[in-house]
Amino acid sequence: MSITESSDFPDDNESNEIDRNDDTQSSKKGPNKFLVFSGMAVQMGATIGLGAWGGQQLDHKYQPEKPYWTIALSLLGVFISLYLLIKQAKKLSDDA
């Protein structure tokens, strides 16, 4: 019996098949939920921040008595970010 015919060593095909099974199982696991929720928080902050910044720019340009644009666009940013948060949370719960 030669070394290559020995039954003590696994075939290359068997070890590759085992490696492929490990890769498919880990990829089905999905993203870490902590990272997903952290991303949602950053997205909310960016959306609200952009709304507030845009409102300040418009208030500076038109100079109303009160900061109407800042208030309106900040609230719009809050509503948009809440909509996106609910949409992503629903998608995350459907995937689980």
Residues of the chain short of pLDDT 70, as ranges, are 1-28
Distance CA 45, CA 41 (A): 6
Q: Specify the pLDDT at position 32.
A: 86
- Residues 42, 33: Cα–Cα separation, whole Å: 14
Check residue 47 and give its pLDDT: 97
Domain definitions of the chain by residue range: 32-95
Name which of 55, 57, 51 is nearest 76 in CA terms.
51
pLDDT of res. 40: 93
Q: What's the pLDDT at 92?
A: 87
* Cα–Cα distance measured from residue 70 to residue 32, given in angstroms and rounded to the nearest whole number: 35
